[in-house]
Amino acid sequence: MKKYILLLLLLPFLSGCSDDDKNNNNPYLPDYNFSMEINMELPSYAQLMFPSNPVRIFQAGVGINGIIVMNTGSGFNAFEVSCPNQPLGSCSVLTLNGVNAVCPCDDMEYSLFTGLGPSQYSLKPYRVRVISPTLIEVYN
């Protein structure tokens, strides 16, 4: 009898699970390990001190083709600058359109607050650690 009661109690939790349409196992974007400290006192990164001002960073060894970092107002997000739904190529580098990133290959827009867009794969996220009010670390 106890087993049936336990099953009835767990049933709402099990039925509440749903499949997510977005997939993080992206076949187009390989995983490369990197770590980069960003000093927001430097002029090239100063706009990260203010919310909703994304910065594209193209530096050798950082991400696949670079990263996009944005202050969301409640923290920082960092994403790969490569289009998540295209094979790597000359047109697969995201451009910025306000607080969205746009893939020039297919004109798909992705939110830099969530990384989500209309396609199968979302933007590839990277971890961000706040070291001090003016220094963050982005890493994979």
pLDDT in tens, 24-74: 689 999 999 999 999 999 999 999 999 999 999 999 999 999 999 999 999
Report yes or no: 92 and 105 within 8 Å, Cβ to Cβ. yes
Which residues does 25 contact at the CB level (< 8 Å), separation at least 6?
none
In tens, the pLDDT along 94-105 reads 999 999 999 999
Residue 64 is classified by DSSP as S
Show the domains of the chain with their CATH numbers.
Answer: 24-139 (2.102.10.10)
Report yes or no: 83 and 127 within 8 Å, Cβ to Cβ. no
Report yes or no: 91 and 105 within 8 Å, Cβ to Cβ. yes
Average pLDDT, the chain: 89
Residue 138, SS3?
A: strand
| Model pTM score | 0.82
Mean pLDDT of 11-31: 65
Mean pLDDT of 114-128: 96
Nearest to 29 by CA among 107, 77, 94: 94
- Phi, psi angle pair for 137, to nearest 5°: -120, 130
